[in-house]
């Protein structure tokens, strides 16, 4: 397997099969591409058919193996089918990256019940559903790895993001609970907690808040490293948790935020 630009991959995931939710853009897209570069066969699960098929095509064009599965991560039937189709296509499932997520920037009084329910369903229920169907498959093959996307705001509160903070806090503790339950079955469960990352979702936050995108991104970059994360940088953290480099790591929340939670520069 060769990376774009000619650099040879290390093959850290050679022989593995990975299912990536929210893989049509942002961190999910970067992670799906990196997993493929490292030798994994990748199933991309997303609602966005056009973008999802494009990501799968890019992986195939680069010499990797990928399939796109269109569906809604909040629906049990779609999640069960995504796992079943991944196994039918590739024969197994070793890695589940629960990455799909949304954000609603509002305080509690300004958040509608429908917005609350949609945020919790997309960010938390999806982790439950995909894991529910993936874990028995992993157990039958002797183990596996689950990585969930939480957030720095799953460990500390943030302004005008009540539903999002609640959902990501739930992901952090659900990660810990699953690590306890499934460690004896040789399934490691960890979460990555990104800070502000230059993705379409981050730019969407600016629009929700009515702030010029340039101003919002500049304010978001105020952290010790003085910049936003790139999706590829978060993807490398996910790769570490998914690979044997983290073979004795489970129940962990890996912060990837340029020092934001450590304090202001």
Residue 264 lies in a domain: no
Whether the predicted pLDDT of 115 surpasses 50: yes
Token readout for 165 is 């903070």
Whether the predicted pLDDT of 229 surpasses 50: yes
Beta strands 95-98 and 41-46: pairing type? unpaired
Q: What is the pLDDT of residues 159-187, one digit of tens each?
A: 999 999 999 999 999 999 999 999 999 99
On whether the CB atoms of residues 105 and 209 are closer than 8 A, the answer is yes
What percentage of the chain reaches a pLDDT higher than 70?
Answer: 96
Give residue 124's pLDDT: 98
Whether the predicted pLDDT of 253 surpasses 80: yes
Residue 170 lies in a domain: yes
CATH at residue 115: 3.40.50.720
Provide the total of helices (H) and of strands (E) in the chain, helices listed first.
9, 7
State how many domains the chain has: 1
Q: Could you tell me how far CA 202 lies from the centroid of its own chain?
A: 15
Whether the predicted pLDDT of 81 surpasses 80: yes
Whether residue 133 lies in the annotated active site? no
Average pLDDT over the chain reads 95
Give residue 9's pLDDT: 60
Residue 97 lies in a domain: yes
Which entry of 119, 164, 187, 246 is annotated as an active-site residue? 164
Buried b (16+ CB within 10 A) or exposed e, 89-116: ebebbbbbbbbbbbbbbbeeeebeeeeb
Give residue 6's pLDDT: 37
Residue 29 lies in a domain: yes
Residue 173 lies in a domain: yes
What's the rounded Cα separation, in Å, for the pair 25 and 195? 17
Choose among 48, 49, 44, 46: nearest CA to 34. Answer: 44
Per-residue pLDDT averaged across 226-239, rounded? 98
Tokens 């229920």 locate to 125
Whether the predicted pLDDT of 1 surpasses 80: no
Q: What is the pTM of this model?
A: 0.95
Q: What is the pLDDT of residues 7-48, one digit of tens each?
A: 446 699 999 999 999 999 999 999 999 999 999 999 999 999
Residue 44 lies in a domain: yes
Provide the 8-state DSSP code for 198. S
Per-residue pLDDT averaged across 108-131, rounded? 98
Of the pLDDT bands very low, low, confident and very high (cuts 50, 70, 90), residue 265 is: confident
Give residue 245's pLDDT: 97
Whether the predicted pLDDT of 241 surpasses 60: yes
Per-residue pLDDT averaged across 74-101, rounded? 98
Give residue 225's pLDDT: 97
Whether the predicted pLDDT of 62 surpasses 60: yes
Range of the domain at 249: 17-194+229-256
Of the pLDDT bands very low, low, confident and very high (cuts 50, 70, 90), residue 264 is: confident
Give residue 3's pLDDT: 39
């Amino acid at each position: 397997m060769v990376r774009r630009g000619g650099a040879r991959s290390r093959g850290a995931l050679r022989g593995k099969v990975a299912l990536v939710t929210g893989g049509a853009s942002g961190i999910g897209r970067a992670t799906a591409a990196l997993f493929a570069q490292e030798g994994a066969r990748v199933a991309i699960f997303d609602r966005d058919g056009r973008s999802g098929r494009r990501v799968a095509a890019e992986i195939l064009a680069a010499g990797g193996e990928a399939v796109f599965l269109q569906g809604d991560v909040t629906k049990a039937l779609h999640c069960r089918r995504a796992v079943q189709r991944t196994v039918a296509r590739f024969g197994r499932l070793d890695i589940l990256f629960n990455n799909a997520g949304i954000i609603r920037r509002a305080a509690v009084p300004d958040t509608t019940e429908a917005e609350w329910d949609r945020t919790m369903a997309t960010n938390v229920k999806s982790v439950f559903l995909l894991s529910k169907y993936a874990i028995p498959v992993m157990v039958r093959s002797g183990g596996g790895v689950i990585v969930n996307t939480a957030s720095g705001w799953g460990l500390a509160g943030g302004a005008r993001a009540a539903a999002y903070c609640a959902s990501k806090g739930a992901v952090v503790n659900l990660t810990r609970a699953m690590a306890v339950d499934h460690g004896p079955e040789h399934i490691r469960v960890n979460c990555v907690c990104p800070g502000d990352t230059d993705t379409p979702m981050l730019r969407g936050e600016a629009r929700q808040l009515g702030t010029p995108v340039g101003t919002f991104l500049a304010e978001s970059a105020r952290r010790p490293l003085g910049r936003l994360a790139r999706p590829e940088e978060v993807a490398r953290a996910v790769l570490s948790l998914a690979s044997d480099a983290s073979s004795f790591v489970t129940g962990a929340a890996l912060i990837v935020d340029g020092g934001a939670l450590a304090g202001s520069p």
